[in-house]
Structure 1
Amino acid sequence: MKRALVASMGLLAILGLACTEPASARQAPSPAPPNDIPISHRDRVYATEQFSNTVSVTDPVDNKLLGVIRLGDPQPGNFSPLYKGQVLVHGIGFSPDHRTLAVVSIGSNSVSFIDTATNAIKHVTYLGRSPHEAFFTPDGNEVWVTVRGEDYVAVLDARSYEEKTRIQTPSGPGMQIFSPDGQYGYICSSFNPETVIVRVSDHTIVGRVVQPSPFCPNIAATPDGKQVWFTLKDVGKVAVFDAQPPFAVLATMDTGPITNHVHFARTARGQFAYVTIGGANEVKVLRTDDFSQVATIAVGKLPHGLWPSGDGTRIYVGLENADALAVIDTAMNRVVATIPVGQAPQAVVYVPNAVTDGMGTQNLQALGVAGQVAQLTLAPLAAPSGRDAPTSVALFDQGLLQVVQASVTGLAPKQPYVLALADNPNGNGRIEPIASFTTNPTGSAVVNATGPIRQLVQDETSGPRRYLVIAPGLPASPGAPVQVQVP
């Protein structure tokens, strides 16, 4: 069972007194509000959780999980040929009026539209293979959905939720975001080294930017509308280009293995980019004027999505391998709270004034089995103490089974490895591969498997105990383990 620390109201009150400098929420994709929106009980933080198939709903005043919107079932229930729920709940956007969420489920090729006031599902639209992210245009008339398993962005009517046209892109569009003025849509690719810029009014491609690598999972426009930043998960970099023609590249920065998402906060000290670095389990803070790094914040295991509060005083970060949200105070650049949520949070959004009347807790459910996760770490044989262990492993309970997710770092780049079970804690003896993978250019990877692994590696009553290891090579002929399970 997961153990999460939630900051007390007293601590938050003290920290709130320290955060006296003004901040701005003027963040794309919504048009800039004239003033900051102070944090209130009407606001909500939403996170999509891909292994429990839920959307968690958090009150940011108390940093309290109110419940989850359950869009689907865990394994093995979702293996049934008659299953009608959603699978791999992953991406999320919201309408400019803050009344509707658009939630993407990769495995079931769908976008679920959810009422923020009642948490009820209003409509489900099914699309092509493996959609990834969905965002409303700033005028609220359309919803653009990147269909990453194909080569287009599906454009939906924001009232009927039906697909009305497609924008052809390089194959594998990963994510799109809009300029705050609604003029441009910026679409990066997860399979090709090219970002395209589309004029929203007529869906015409008007610019192209070369990506330093093919794998961009996330893209964001600065609140002032001057820059676009995108992350490169495979090579551990962030790139920045001018948000206006001719869309010139301004900078490319090394950030670290498993660089996931980027977002922004504006304070009296300036405008800052916050970047989640999964392999290092930290968030890096960079200025947007000279691109200098001003802070590194330890947040927890495998940080993924993030989003600022309506006044820019907080950044909420999904911790994929910890089933939690970390709350960063942007004045001090430190974590001030950790909130338990569902399994493997992916995208995160903060929606000011999401609930205008009532408690806003209708149709929410308790975490249940989604709140259960076991944590392991793997370290090199030469240093098995677990201190600064490069690989974290989460075992997400699905009932009798677990989804295993390893955030792997510290290996040779571009080489084949196996995640395996060994008979002995030092890796000696029989090696039984459970997943094969190839590391990216930073020597890292995110590896998944499914099975009763927790019972094998933690519970000796179910039979001879086994130990998780990582070994080089292919499943048919793995070599000697190079990382082993830390006691």
Structure 2
Amino acid sequence: MKSVIFSMALLACACLAGLPYARAGQAPGSASDRDIPISHRDRVYAAEQFSNTVSVTDPVDNRLLGVIRLGDPLPGNLSALYKGQLLVHGMGYSPDHRTLAVVSIGSNSVTFIDTTTNAVKHTTYVGRSPHEAFFTPDGREVWVTIRGEDYIDVLDGNTYAEKTRIKVPAGPGMQIFSPDGKYGYVCSSFNPETDVIAVANHTIVGRVKQASPFCPNIAATPDGKQVWFTLKDIGKVQVFDARPPFALLKTLDTGPLTNHVNFARTTKGSFAYVTIGGPNQVKVYRTDDFEQVATIPVGKLPHGLWPSGDGSRIYVDLENGDAVTAIDTLTNKVIATVPVGQAPQALVYVPDAVPAGKGTQNLQPLGLAGQATHLMLASRAGHTVSSAEAPTSVSLFDQGLTQVLQAVVTDLPPKQPYVLALATRADGTGALVPLAAFKTNPAGSAVVNAVGPIRQVVQEGNAAVDRRYLVIVPGTAAAHGAPVQIQVFR
């Protein structure tokens, strides 16, 4: 009799393992769902903005398997006849873990990818500058925040065609759903308001005031009790009750360039992990009393993050480090770093993404997408600093003859105009060639971009007269002051 019961138990476990909609007891699933141990069937995906790729990593040995190329680098993607995707950025996945939804901001698209074969199944073109896309928990719809406009584009979860639109304040940043599928939570990147929408009838049933207008990311706890959202411009995270009347519970001061938030449930409790781009850290908070329990150095400009199916790890991508890091959630230590494509943005961990086979079809080598040069700026010329000490990090993402420059600027006065420029002398003096004008946010930081053959002049000048040095000066290109940050060396 015991052997029969044991056999039935094994059969039940096998059946559960094969359920097409099996979900982990981690975000975005429900706390009542079973955890899924890490296996070679799992995948970590990162959406890479400047190489227009999706990297695919096996979490067992933290090995990059290859990339899915959705578009070309510069200058090919500037052509009027260009057909690929541009600025690959946002990412979600279906409840059965078989389909990725990848948002490309520049080409206004959502690309649906088969996780088993890594092949593109369909591309839906939507409104101006979409930001994130995610399936409803029942898989029937895909909600896409159209950040360049004022609505949520609701797509059919099977055909991927537009069904309807949900009107919201201009600039919806991201949406996520309550684990039971009752509510959709939509924060804004242009207005200080998060909306709560009833999934059943697409009506707004609640509003939460944001402390600032710029929210890029939002997440719901697996127990269905809380919603956390980030405020990148002022370096804060806010928490509200996931149930009516959706009352604000807590505001946390997290740090400049606060990016994404997500959760891990472990034997020690439930924890929120927050990526802080300015100091290159992940901060960890308890979800019951909001106590900060850890600060984890991870690398340059941490952005997206997601828990493994059993909550034993949190995976974080490094936007200015071209890498994905794995954090052990029991020790809160980085245990692995995996090279990926250029400027990874959103990241998802998909348990059981590949139910059979190697799952390496249609993947390509990293190639040019893995090439970048990293520089630093600080307040004194000739000063040797470490990466952790430099207030501004610069990445030059190689696009062939040109590079995309991305500077993560911190430690400046807030709300002031500045210019990133090239100087003829190492101390920042001499004639300046402006690259980009910018204004610091309320936290005194900014992310600045430029394009050109910059590596060749800041790193590879053949003679002293050819070499140029990156500097930041206050004011405008026409009227500026003395340099406040200058290129420095390790």
CA distance in 2, matches of 1:420, 1:460: 17
Could you tell me which residue of structure 2 aligns to residue 9 of structure 1? none
What is the identity, as a one-letter code, of the residue corresponding to 1:213? S
Could you tell me which residue of structure 1 aligns to residue 484 of structure 2? 482
* 1:47/1:349 contact within 8 Å kept: yes
* 4+ residue segments displaced more than 6 Å: none
Could you tell me which residue of structure 2 aligns to residue 393 of structure 1? 394
C-alpha change, 1:66 and 1:138, in structure 2 (3 Å) is same
C-alpha change, 1:135 and 1:230, in structure 2 (3 Å) is same
> Residues 407-466 of structure 1: CA distance to partner in whole angstroms, max 9, x if unpaired?
000101000001100011111111111000000001000000000000000002286100
CA distance in 1, matches of 2:425, 2:316: 37
Could you tell me which residue of structure 1 aligns to residue 206 of structure 2? 207
What is the identity, as a one-letter code, of the residue corresponding to 1:193? P
Could you tell me which residue of structure 2 aligns to residue 166 of structure 1? 165
Could you tell me which residue of structure 2 aligns to residue 416 of structure 1? 417
Could you tell me which residue of structure 2 aligns to residue 261 of structure 1? 260
Could you tell me which residue of structure 2 aligns to residue 19 of structure 1? none
What is the identity, as a one-letter code, of the residue corresponding to 2:482? A
CA distance in 1, matches of 2:391, 2:258: 15
CA distance in 1, matches of 2:227, 2:234: 19
Could you tell me which residue of structure 1 aligns to residue 295 of structure 2? 296
Q: Which structure has the larger Rg?
A: 2
* 1:25/1:266 contact within 8 Å kept: no
Could you tell me which residue of structure 2 aligns to residue 10 of structure 1? none
CA distance in 1, matches of 2:32, 2:38: 14
Alpha-carbon distance, 1:231 to partner? 0.2
CA distance in 2, matches of 1:167, 1:71: 28
Could you tell me which residue of structure 2 aligns to residue 14 of structure 1? none
* 1:25/1:308 contact within 8 Å kept: no
Could you tell me which residue of structure 1 aligns to residue 12 of structure 2? none
Alpha-carbon distance, 1:33 to partner? 6.0
Q: Does 1:457 align with 2:445?
A: no
> Residues 280-339 of structure 1: CA distance to partner in whole angstroms, max 9, x if unpaired?
100000000110100000000000000000000000000000000011000000101100
Alpha-carbon distance, 1:150 to partner? 0.1
Q: Does 1:468 align with 2:466?
A: no
CA distance in 2, matches of 1:90, 1:30: 22
Structure 2 runs not aligned, ≥5 long: 1-22
CA distance in 1, matches of 2:486, 2:27: 43
Normalising by structure 1, we get a TM-score of: 0.94
CA distance in 2, matches of 1:252, 1:142: 32
SS of the residue aligned with 2:385?
coil
* 2:420/2:435 contact within 8 Å kept: yes
Alpha-carbon distance, 1:29 to partner? 3.3
Report the number of matched residues. Answer: 464
Q: Does 1:147 align with 2:146?
A: yes
Alpha-carbon distance, 1:45 to partner? 0.1
> Residues 151-170 of structure 1: CA distance to partner in whole angstroms, max 9, x if unpaired?
00000001110011000000
CA distance in 2, matches of 1:352, 1:305: 17
Q: Indicate the percent of aligned positions where both proteins have the same amino acid.
A: 74
Q: Does 1:88 align with 2:90?
A: no
CA distance in 1, matches of 2:230, 2:380: 32
What is the identity, as a one-letter code, of the residue corresponding to 2:446? A
CA distance in 2, matches of 1:63, 1:28: 21
Alpha-carbon distance, 1:25 to partner? 4.4
CA distance in 2, matches of 1:38, 1:135: 23
Alpha-carbon distance, 1:381 to partner? 2.0
* 2:27/2:262 contact within 8 Å kept: no
C-alpha change, 1:435 and 1:473, in structure 2 (3 Å) is same
Could you tell me which residue of structure 2 aligns to residue 7 of structure 1? none
> Residues 252-271 of structure 1: CA distance to partner in whole angstroms, max 9, x if unpaired?
01000000000000111110
> Residues 18-38 of structure 1: CA distance to partner in whole angstroms, max 9, x if unpaired?
xxxxxx942343455632100
CA distance in 2, matches of 1:121, 1:167: 27
CA distance in 2, matches of 1:108, 1:354: 26
CA distance in 2, matches of 1:389, 1:93: 34
Provide the alpha-carbon RMSD of the alignment.
1.2
* 1:31/1:96 contact within 8 Å kept: no
| Worse-superposed segment, 384-393 or 301-310 | 384-393
What is the identity, as a one-letter code, of the residue corresponding to 1:40? S
| Worse-superposed segment, 376-385 or 477-486 | 376-385
CA distance in 2, matches of 1:432, 1:190: 32
CA distance in 1, matches of 2:158, 2:31: 23
C-alpha change, 1:317 and 1:237, in structure 2 (3 Å) is same
Q: What are the within-5 Å matches in structure 2 for residues 46-65 of structure 1?
A: 46-65=45-64
Q: Does 1:111 align with 2:137?
A: no
SS of the residue aligned with 1:374?
strand
Could you tell me which residue of structure 1 aligns to residue 426 of structure 2? 425
* 1:256/1:279 contact within 8 Å kept: yes
Alpha-carbon distance, 1:477 to partner? 1.6
Could you tell me which residue of structure 2 aligns to residue 402 of structure 1? 403
* 1:376/1:394 contact within 8 Å kept: yes
Alpha-carbon distance, 1:232 to partner? 0.1
* 2:101/2:112 contact within 8 Å kept: yes
Alpha-carbon distance, 1:223 to partner? 1.1
Normalising by structure 2, we get a TM-score of: 0.93
* 2:93/2:101 contact within 8 Å kept: yes
CA distance in 1, matches of 2:403, 2:462: 18
> Residues 187-237 of structure 1: CA distance to partner in whole angstroms, max 9, x if unpaired?
000000000000000001000000000000000001111000000000000
Q: What are the within-5 Å matches in structure 2 for residues 276-425 of structure 1?
A: 276-381=275-380, 384-387=383-386, 388-425=389-426
Could you tell me which residue of structure 2 aligns to residue 186 of structure 1? 185
Could you tell me which residue of structure 2 aligns to residue 21 of structure 1? none
CA distance in 1, matches of 2:444, 2:33: 45
CA distance in 2, matches of 1:33, 1:310: 13
CA distance in 1, matches of 2:47, 2:392: 23
Could you tell me which residue of structure 2 aligns to residue 20 of structure 1? none
* 1:313/1:329 contact within 8 Å kept: yes
* 1:218/1:231 contact within 8 Å kept: yes
CA distance in 2, matches of 1:420, 1:384: 19
* 1:27/1:180 contact within 8 Å kept: no
What is the identity, as a one-letter code, of the residue corresponding to 2:423? A
Could you tell me which residue of structure 1 aligns to residue 131 of structure 2? 132
